[in-house]
């Protein structure tokens, strides 16, 4: 994110910050990916950025890719539908159009239905556990991160802080959603480590478990 907490400018043109990442940052990101069993993103990230979500910069096995896609809007041309490098699971809801669901199934990815309007994250974690997934990296975007914090499902928090200011009321932030309204609800963090890698702050936090 930028110093003022934005992950993109107000027009939401994606992956701008990736242009600032050096090989050291990419290797660190891919190392983190290689150490987890699954990566989770929202469908907006797939639509806007079309990431592959694989491990390429370091040795290791690419984790399972999981997309939160309530309405089955994942484009049929998306890179994550190419399952040669890693398997893909798309989580949809009962309200997802059947034609879209069937089209995605023909791409040889696994679809699981969880919930009626929004994907039920707690049930998703249970389904992933059944599939041998013990550790998950939630890459985003802001609405997805908010959902995981809201459901008290975050153990660790990792962030890069870029030396830029974006501003803008409509600019996406690191964690969006409706937000907490009281200090007692907010998520407290413990700073575990901090260093600067090529002018970019790298910070690790542990999450204090809320009751």
Q: Residue 57 has what pLDDT?
A: 83
Q: Profile the chain (211 residues) by mean pLDDT over runs of 10 residues.
A: 92 77 90 96 93 90 97 97 95 97 95 94 97 95 95 95 93 94 94 94 90 63
Round to whole Å and give the CA distance between 8 and 66: 23
CATH of segment(s) 17-207: 3.40.430.10
Q: What is the structure's pLDDT at 210?
A: 66
Write the secondary structure of 9-32 as one string of H (helix), E (strand) and C (coil).
CCCCCCCCHHHHCCHHHHHHHHHH
Q: How many CB atoms lie within 10 A of CB 66?
A: 28
Pairing type for strands 200-207 and 156-161 reads antiparallel
Where are the chain's structural domains? 17-207
> Dihedral, CA atoms, 105, 78, 32, 133, nearest 10 degrees?
-10
User: If DSSP codes are grouped into helix, strand and coil, which group holds residue 174?
Assistant: coil
Query: Any residues with CB less than 8 A from the CB of 202 and at least 6 apart, and which?
Result: 28, 158, 159, 160, 194, 195, 196
pTM of the full structure: 0.92
Rounded CA gap, 82 and 100, in Å? 17
pLDDT at 149: 96
Predicted local distance difference test score (pLDDT) of residue 56:
87
């Amino acid at each position: 994110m930028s110093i003022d907490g934005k992950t993109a400018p107000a027009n939401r043109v994606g992956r701008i910050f990736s242009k600032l990442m050096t090989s050291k940052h990419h290797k660190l990101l891919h190392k983190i990916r290689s150490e987890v069993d699954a990566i989770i993103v929202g469908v907006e990230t797939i639509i806007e950025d079309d990431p592959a979500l694989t491990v390429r910069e370091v040795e290791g096995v690419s984790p399972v890719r999981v997309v939160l896609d309530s309405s089955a809007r994942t484009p049929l041309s998306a890179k994550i539908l190419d399952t040669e490098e890693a398997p893909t699971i798309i989580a949809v809801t009962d309200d997802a159009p059947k034609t879209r669901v069937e089209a995605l199934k023909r791409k040889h990815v696994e679809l699981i239905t969880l919930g009626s309007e929004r994907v039920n994250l707690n049930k998703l974690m249970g389904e992933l556990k059944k599939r041998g997934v013990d550790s998950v990296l939630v890459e985003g975007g802001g609405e997805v991160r908010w959902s995981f914090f809201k459901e008290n499902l975050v153990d660790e928090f990792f962030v890069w802080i870029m030396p830029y200011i974006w501003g803008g009321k409509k600019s996406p932030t690191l964690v969006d959603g409706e937000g907490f309204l009281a200090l007692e609800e907010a998520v407290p963090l413990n700073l575990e480590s901090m260093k600067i890698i090529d002018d970019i702050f790298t910070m690790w936090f542990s999450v204090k478990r809320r009751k």
